[in-house]
Amino acid sequence: MSNNENWTVNTGGGNFNKHIQGSYIQGNYYAAGKPQSLVQAAGEIQALLKHLETSYPSDIPARDMVVATEVVKHIETNPTMKQKVINAAKEGGLAALEKAIDNPAGAFIIGAIKGWLEVKNN
């Protein structure tokens, strides 16, 4: 890229310096190292988890699995959210999404998302 080309950088509120010396790699860069779609999808899943966890007593042994199943059902019936979650998993990776969800039920949800990715790839 030369200095004569027009280009836009969305920093999400951070600082940007156009002065480039030497080599650089062209691509997509995200604040805090995480794609915004991953942060948004994880936030929506966390909100669902918190809402559903209040419906099930904590002394139920399979509570995490039951709550995760309800979250997966909700995502599956909401095509926009499902696509957002799939895109987040593709962009940021399943491990990063699970870490961002930060909930014991996250592993069950990630298993469903992995299945959706495999179906889309076939």
Q: What mean pLDDT is reported for the chain?
A: 80
Residue 10 in domain: no
pLDDT tens track for 99-114: 999 999 999 999 999 9
pLDDT tens, 69-86? 999 999 999 999 999 999
Residue 9 has a pLDDT of: 55
The answer to the question of residue 67 being in a domain is: yes
Q: Is residue 86 in a domain?
A: yes
Is the predicted pLDDT of residue 49 greater than 90, yes or no?
yes
Contact 45, 38 (CB under 8 A): no
Q: What percent of the chain has pLDDT over 70?
A: 70
Residue 22 lies in a domain: no
Task: Give the ranges where the chain is alpha helix by DSSP (H).
Answer: 36-53, 63-76, 79-92, 94-101, 106-121
Give domain status of residue 45, yes or no: yes
- pLDDT for residue 83: 94
- 47 pLDDT above the threshold of 70: yes
pLDDT at 18: 53
20 domain-assigned = no
Number of separate domains in the chain: 1
The dihedral sign for the CA sequence 67, 71, 76, 82:
negative
**Is residue 2 in some structural domain?**
no
Tell me the residue range of the domain where 102 lies. Answer: 34-121
Is 92 a domain residue?
yes
pLDDT, mean of residues 14-39: 57
